Structure 1
Amino acid sequence: MPPARRTLALAAPVVGFLLGFLDFVWIKWVPYPFAELGNSTATWAVAAFALGWWVRAGALRAAVAATVLLVVAVPSYYLAATLLQGDDLAVVVAPTALLWMASGVLAGVVFGVAGVWARTSGWREVVATALPAAVFVEEALRFAGRARTGYPGAWWNVAIDLGLAALLLELVGRTLRGRLLATAVALPLAVVGAFAFAAAAG
């Protein structure tokens, strides 16, 4: 196996383990409202995107690596809960955990490939640049819905998510035109994502 492939084969599970374990640590000890970033599906999606961005070696390899990252992160999260909070490790094979791992396959493919596409040009670059921002906008929409039901501090999380969306557009977009186009694409993607998330949750 070439050195680059060996590095990727090692990096994906190691980073996945760290993502899951440190995510639980973040939730447990970081003060609210920033602790909510540990419960954030957007944070994990962007981690998959970042790995795809780093791979630079083809969409298929990026998709596989990002999928491994997200799937490994799920049992790692529950392992941290067992070691640091005394939870039952059997939850690793519970239906909820298996559902999260299955979701990780889908998200890994989509966001891993997007990480590669963000380094290309044309419509692929625009869509890929929009995706990391869109997941945080979608999450902001969910928090806005919770705010209407009295969820404490929800508006703080709306502000945090929108701020992160803007930051990602700035970091990932390579030109002003690209950022503006990605912003226009991110908004409808976020709305579609919100409906999809609501359908999956309901």
Structure 2
Amino acid sequence: MSITRRASVIAPVAGLLLGFLDFVWIKFVPAPFGGLGNSIAVWAVAAYLLAFFLRGPAGRAIAAAVVMLLIAVPSYYIAAALIQHDDWSNAWDVNAGQWMVLGAVAGIAFGFGGVVARRPGRFRRPALGLAAAVLLAEAILQVARIGQPSYDTADLVQYVLVLVVLVVLAVLSPLAVARTWPDRALALAYAVPMSGVGYLLMTATAFGSK
């Protein structure tokens, strides 16, 4: 199967699964781990990994990441309509449109990062740390919530548990994309300052409100 045909099949199927399973996770996995389904980092890492492992021209890999996230948004709301009888119009209303725009931006950014991470060059190692960076940025968001007085002790314990999971996933993520231990170590080193930038970008968008 050609790369074009493979991407045209994998991207929409991955989008349908991402959106549907994300809602299922949020709906049925107990707190605090069910809250990870609301993490933009999960969707960003999915776009990154799709572009990384989908061999072929950069443009097609990035387009596939964008298509996946665009389809994942209505798929999420369709799952909500099927499982808990939400309004079907949620899949195409203004709110869904806004998330699709943000998803397209994330698909381009992290799809591009996935492409750069598999190609030689000076930016390969920073790109190898991009998945870890977005997971750490999400962890910083959890830390910021811990300091808010509106959360009681139970909420704080849950956020700490989610924080630990995000940090562990961030540390493990270079294992999936980097082939050598020096590359993995440097990817994590680059991820730390990049996570600060990611946090600032998240807080400047709707992502930071989740």
Q: Identify the TM-score tier after normalising by the shorter chain.
A: over 0.9
**Which range moved further: 123-132 or 15-24?**
123-132
Give me the whole-angstrom Cα distance separating, in 2, the residues matched to 1:172 and 1:11: 19
**Which range moved further: 62-71 or 122-131?**
122-131
Give me the whole-angstrom Cα distance separating, in 2, the residues matched to 1:113 and 1:200: 20
Q: Aligned partner of 1:4: which letter?
A: I
Give me the whole-angstrom Cα distance separating, in 1, the residues matched to 2:67 and 2:57: 16
Which one of 152, 155, 174 corresponds to residue 169 of structure 1?
174
Q: Give the aligned partner of residue 136 of structure 1.
A: 135
Partner-residue secondary structure (3-state), 2:173: helix
**Which range moved further: 158-167 or 109-118?**
109-118
The structural deviation recorded for 1:50 is: 1.4
Cα contact 2:3–2:55 (8 A) shared by 1: no
Give me the whole-angstrom Cα distance separating, in 2, the residues matched to 1:12 and 1:194: 27
Q: Which runs of 5+ in 2 are unaligned?
A: none
2:50 counterpart of 1:45: no
Give me the whole-angstrom Cα distance separating, in 2, the residues matched to 1:198 and 1:192: 10
2:185 counterpart of 1:180: yes
TM-score of the aligned structures, taking structure 1 as reference length: 0.94
2:24 counterpart of 1:25: yes
The structural deviation recorded for 1:173 is: 2.0
Q: Aligned partner of 1:167: which letter?
A: L
The structural deviation recorded for 1:124 is: 2.4
Q: Which runs of 5+ in 1 are unaligned?
A: none
The structural deviation recorded for 1:3 is: 3.1
Cα contact 2:3–2:56 (8 A) shared by 1: no
Give me the whole-angstrom Cα distance separating, in 1, the residues matched to 2:76 and 2:95: 13
Q: Aligned partner of 2:116: which letter?
A: W
Partner-residue secondary structure (3-state), 2:31: coil
TM-score of the aligned structures, taking structure 2 as reference length: 0.90
The structural deviation recorded for 1:4 is: 2.9
Give me the whole-angstrom Cα distance separating, in 1, the residues matched to 2:61 and 2:2: 16
Give me the whole-angstrom Cα distance separating, in 1, the residues matched to 2:143 and 2:131: 19
The structural deviation recorded for 1:84 is: 0.3
Which one of 199, 202, 205 corresponds to residue 197 of structure 1?
202
Fraction of identical pairs, as percent: 44
**Which range moved further: 53-62 or 157-166?**
53-62
RMSD of equivalent CA atoms: 1.5
What do the CA deviations read for 1:31-82 (whole angstroms, capped 9, x no partner)? 2222122111111111111111121102111110000000000000000000
Cα contact 2:41–2:135 (8 A) shared by 1: yes
Q: Give the aligned partner of residue 124 of structure 2.
A: 125
